[in-house]
A and B are shown apart, each in its own frame.
Chain A
């Protein structure tokens, strides 16, 4: 089965740029989606199709995907961005499967 690897944690000061990576074999050939989950809340879609941004999501959130790594970038980080972030892909290597990364805890210092 397909494995997505995320760093467990990323820390950044307010106003700085946070980059959260999602590694996978040839992930650049797949569409990657990103979800934000704050404590006690349901996940929220923040990036779809590698770099698309749903309505209501600030322009500070962006995504890219190439080679073996997809990246979620958050510029001008705010305290309210502190959350867990998950990447996700659709995989067909062994049937149909929707795979999540292990999640990254973003801490705003």
Chain B
């Protein structure tokens, strides 16, 4: 069964940096699937953050994080990353990673989220 486990959440000061990780369980061919980061501010709805293609190419970002956040992956370690720089109070949220359902897909119609991790909490506060 596919499992995604996020880590790296912490309390950080405004302007600071943090790197989140999302490790996929064995038995799931991590390198075959595109991945998303999605966040949820306290008491708010879901907000898409970033997506990366299965091989690390073609990355896209929400306007709210563009130029500050970087999505990447290490397929040899079955791990997805989100490097967050220039953090602001409005970045405070639970950050979820999620996989897409189709292998080796370049068709963004298939880039919905079929399995989610449990999330890691980022708090930006002085």
- Chain A residues at the B interface, C-beta cutoff of 8 Å: 1, 31, 33, 35, 37, 41-45, 48, 54, 84, 86, 88, 90, 92, 95-103
Contact = CB atoms under 8 A, between A and B. Distances in A.
B101 interface: yes
Contact of A45 (B45, B111, B114): B114
B117 to A, nearest CB: 7
A90 B45 contact: no
B62 interface: yes
Contacts of A90: 108-109, 111-112
A54 B114 contact: yes
Interface residues of B, number: 24
A100 B47 contact: yes
Contacts of B116: 42-44
Interface of B: 36, 38, 45-48, 51, 60, 62-63, 96, 98, 101, 108-109, 111-119
Contacts of B45: 84, 86, 100-103
Given A48-B101, A95-B60, A97-B62, A33 B96 contact: no
Contacts of B101: 48
B46 A42 contact: no
B72 to A, nearest CB: 17
Nearest to B114: A45
A44 B113 CA distance: 9
A97 B36 CA distance: 11
15 contacts: A31-B109, A31-B112, A42-B96, A42-B116, A43-B96, A43-B116, A86-B46, A88-B46, A88-B112, A90-B108, A90-B109, A95-B60, A96-B60, A100-B45, A103-B45
Contacts of B98: 43
Contacts of B115: 45
Greatest chain A CB density within 10 A among B36, B112, B117 is at B112
A43 B46 CA distance: 9
A92 B112 CA distance: 14
Contacts of B48: 88, 97-100
Contacts of A44: 116
